[in-house]
A and B are shown apart, each in its own frame.
Chain A
Amino acid sequence: MTRYILKRLLFALVTLFVIITVVFFLLRLAPGGPFDGERRLPPEIEANLKAAYNLDAPLLLQYGRFMVNLAQGDLGPSFTQKDFDVNALIRAGLPVSLMLGLGALVCALLLGLSIGIVAGLKPGGLLDTLLMAVSNLNIAVPTIVAAPLMVLLFSVTLSWFPGGGADTWWHFVLPALALGLPLSAEIARIMRGGIAETSLEPFVKTAKAKGLKSPRIVFLHLLPAASIPLLSFLGPAMAGLLTGSVVAEQIFDLPGIGRYYVQGALNRDYTLVMGVTIVYSFAILSFNLLVDVAYGLIDPRIRVAQT
Chain B
Amino acid sequence: MSDIGDLQSLASSITAVTSPFRNYLTELHGTFQAINDGAVADYIPELALAKPEWFGICVVTKDGQVFDVGDCDQLFTIQSISKAFVFGLALEDHGREYVNSKVSVEPTGEAFNAIVLDEVTNRPYNPMVNAGAIATTDLIKGSSSTERLKRMLDMFRRYTGREHDINVPVFLSEKATGYRNRAMSYLMLNFGMVGDKIDETLDLYFQQCSIMVNARDLAMMSATLANGGINPVTQERAIDERYVQDVISVMLTCGMYDASGEWAYRVGMPAKSGVGGGILAVVPKQLGIGTFSPPLDAKGNSVRGIKVCEALATDFGLHLFNAAKPERELQAWIDGNDTDSW
Do they bind each other?
no
B residues apposed to A, CB below 8 Å = none
